Amino acid sequence: MPAPRPLPRPKTHVVEGVELHLAHPDDLPISWVGQEDLVLQLLAAWSVLDPRDLPLNPRLIGKPGVGKTTLAYATARQLGREVYLFQATMDTRPEDLIVTPVVGQGREIRYVASSLVTAMIRGGVVILDEGNRMSEKSWASLAPLLDARRYVESIVAGIKIPAHPDFRFCATMNDDSSTFELPEYIHSRLQPQIVVEFPEREEELLILRETLPFLKESLLEYVADFLQRAHRADESYTVRDGINVARYASRIAKAQGREAQAAMHQAIRMVLGEEALVYAT
C-alpha cells in the first residue's frame, strides 16, 4: 500500500474561533539501521484494529545515544506522516507543550501552537524527546491526550483541541539518574515500553558505514570493536560516541598527515576521556 501523501501545510488553524499559528514539521536526513524488530514493535503500537480502536502511546527507553529518537523518527516516516520533534526539559511548562501567547505588531496577541499541538491538528507524529526530564505539572496537561479523550486544553487561549484520528504520540526516555520519576497515572498511559539496547557488532558496523561512508572500512571496524568491548564492560559509550571518535580521528590524521587509525588513541582520549583507552587496542 503506498504511503499517504502529506497534507498541504496551512500556516494557521482555527479552533473554537481562535486562530492558532502552526509549527513546521521536522524534515531530517535520518534512517534506522538494523534491529528491525524494534520498528515492528513501534508500528504495532501505533496501529489500530478497528475504527473504534485507539493507537497506543509508546515510550522508548534506553541509555543516551542508543538511537531512540532516530528509531521513532524513521518509523514515523514509514507511515508517510509529518513528524514533529519536541525537546522536553526540566523547564518545560504546560503552555510550552500546548499554546503560547505571543505579542505581535500593534500589541496584538497571537496564539502559537506547539509542535505537539500542530501534530495533533495535522494528523502527524510527535516525538516527545527525553520526556522524563519534564515535571509532573507539564505531564498532567497531556493526561487527557494520552487516554480515550484524545484532547488537550489550553488555559491561555480558552480552547479545547481534539487530536486528528491519524495523530500518533511517542516519548523517548533516557535510562539515567538525571530525570524525574513519572507519576503513575502518566506511566499507565505511556504503553507499551520498548527498550532500545546497544546494537550487536554487525548492526553497529552498519550504522557506522551508513553515517561515515567516506571513511576506511578498517577504521570503522576498529571503532565497532572498541564499542563492543565497552558494551561488555557495561560502559555507557554509544555508537554516537564512536562516530564522534572516528570523525575526530580522521581530522587529526589529515592535519598531521598520517593514517586515521594511528590517531585513534588521541581521539578516544579527547572525546571520551583517558579512562576509555582501556577498551582501545
Mean pLDDT of the chain: 91
Residue 219 lies inside a defined structural domain of this protein: yes
Tell me the sheet residues that pair with 110.
Answer: 102
pLDDT at 196: 92
Mean pLDDT of 106-131: 94
Q: CA 58 to CA 66: how far, in whole Å?
A: 17
Q: Could you read off the pLDDT of 224-277 as tens digits, one per residue?
A: 999 999 999 988 898 989 999 999 999 999 998 888 878 999 999 999 999 999
* Contacts by residues 88-92 (CB-CB < 8 Å, ≥ 24 positions apart): 88/128, 88/129, 88/130, 88/131, 88/133, 88/134, 88/138, 89/130, 89/133, 89/134, 90/133, 90/134, 90/135, 90/180, 92/133, 92/134, 92/135, 92/138
Chain centroid, CA 280 distance in Å: 30
Is the domain of 228 the same as that of 102? no
Q: CA 80 to CA 76: how far, in whole Å?
A: 7
What's the pTM value of the predicted model, to 2 decimals?
A: 0.85
pLDDT at 178: 58
Is the domain of 170 the same as that of 258? no
pLDDT at 8: 61
Domain count, the chain: 2
How large a percentage of the chain has pLDDT more than 90?
Answer: 75
Return the sign of the alpha-carbon dihedral for residues 145, 149, 151, 53.
Answer: positive
Q: Where is pLDDT greater, at 100 or 180?
A: 100
Using pLDDT thresholds of 50, 70 and 90, give the confidence band for residue 1.
Answer: very low
Range(s) of the domain holding residue 231:
201-279
Is the domain of 135 the same as that of 211? no
- Is the pLDDT at 220 greater than 90, yes or no? yes
Specify the CATH number for the domain of residue 136.
3.40.50.300
How large a percentage of the chain has pLDDT more than 70?
Answer: 95
Residue 228 lies inside a defined structural domain of this protein: yes
Which among 195, 212, 236 is the end of a domain?
195
Residue 71 CB coordination number (10 Å): 24
DSSP class of residue 212 equals: -
Residue 41 CB coordination number (10 Å): 17
Q: Could you read off the pLDDT of 45-87 as tens digits, one per residue?
A: 999 999 999 999 999 999 888 889 999 999 999 999 999 999 9
pLDDT at 177: 59
Using pLDDT thresholds of 50, 70 and 90, give the confidence band for residue 6.
Answer: low
φ and ψ of 151, to 5 deg = -150, 165
